[in-house]
């Protein structure tokens, strides 16, 4: 997997966490540096570690996976992308549901959000094992990109609210589907 594709993957996977960061910023009366850093670190950590866990799992089944890698990547990335699009549509229909937590920056809430937004990265890690990608570089890029996107997202949420978060999730879903198609086409040709 080339460097540009790794960066694109990082931005695609960061969109869920970015959208949640925007929502957290929107739901907070005051955004502090501690809030920004704890959000960015938590989300970046989980987005970076989950592909590694998926990669380890994927390597255990590498014989089966390698024969069907392009189908697996297309299916997983397509399904994740479609799920992100469906979530964006649901969020648009029910914007009030986003601010239910009283303290969105509490450690417990951030950890739950971090895990929830990184499940797709776990599935991507399985795909990366099938592609024999450099998981260390990819995971570091995903985690770092997520860290910076989420830092920015909290501030954006405070300023601009929910609208941008929904669009980011929708756009990320489209990009993941396109990335799955790209991998599929490259392996067919």
Average pLDDT of every residue of the chain:
82
Q: Which two tokens stand for residue 125?
A: 């890690």
For 27-46, b/e burial (b = at least 16 CB within 10 A) is bbeebeeebbebbbbbbbbb
CA dist., res. 107 & res. 173, Å (int): 27
H and E: helices and strands count for the chain: 7, 0
Name the percent of the chain lying above pLDDT 90: 31
- Check residue 100 and give its pLDDT: 53
pLDDT digits (tens, 9 = 90+) for 100-117: 545 778 898 899 889 888
CA dist., res. 70 & res. 19, Å (int): 29
Q: Which one, of 6, 17, 36, 22, lies nearest residue 112 by Cα?
A: 17
CA dist., res. 35 & res. 106, Å (int): 9
Q: Report CA-CA distances (Å) from 116 to 61, 90, 120, 136.
A: 25, 16, 9, 22
Whether 47 shows a pLDDT value over 90: the answer reads yes
- Check residue 101 and give its pLDDT: 46
Confidence category of residue 34, pLDDT binned at 50, 70, 90:
very high
Higher pLDDT pick, 70 / 116: 116
Contacts of 91 by beta carbon, 8 Å cutoff, 6+ apart: 19, 97, 98, 162, 165, 166, 169
Confidence category of residue 164, pLDDT binned at 50, 70, 90:
low
């Amino acid at each position: 997997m080339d460097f540009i594709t790794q960066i694109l993957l990082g931005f695609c996977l960061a969109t869920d966490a970015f959208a949640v960061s925007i929502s957290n910023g929107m739901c907070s009366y005051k955004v502090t540096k501690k809030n920004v850093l704890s959000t960015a670190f938590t989300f970046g950590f989980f987005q970076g570690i989950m592909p590694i866990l998926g990669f380890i799992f994927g390597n255990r089944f590498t014989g089966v996976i390698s024969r069907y890698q392009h189908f697996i990547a297309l299916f997983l990335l397509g399904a994740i992308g479609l799920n992100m699009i469906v979530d964006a549509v649901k969020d648009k229909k029910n914007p009030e549901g986003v601010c239910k937590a009283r303290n969105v920056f509490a450690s417990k809430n951030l950890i739950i959000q971090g895990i929830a937004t990184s499940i797709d990265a776990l599935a991507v890690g399985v795909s990366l094992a099938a592609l024999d990608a450099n998981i260390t570089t990819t995971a570091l890029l995903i985690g770092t990109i997520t860290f910076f996107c989420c830092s920015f997202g909290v501030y954006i949420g405070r300023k601009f609210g929910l609208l941008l978060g929904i669009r980011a999730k929708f756009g990320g879903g489209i990009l993941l589907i396109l990335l799955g198609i790209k991998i599929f086409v490259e392996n067919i040709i």
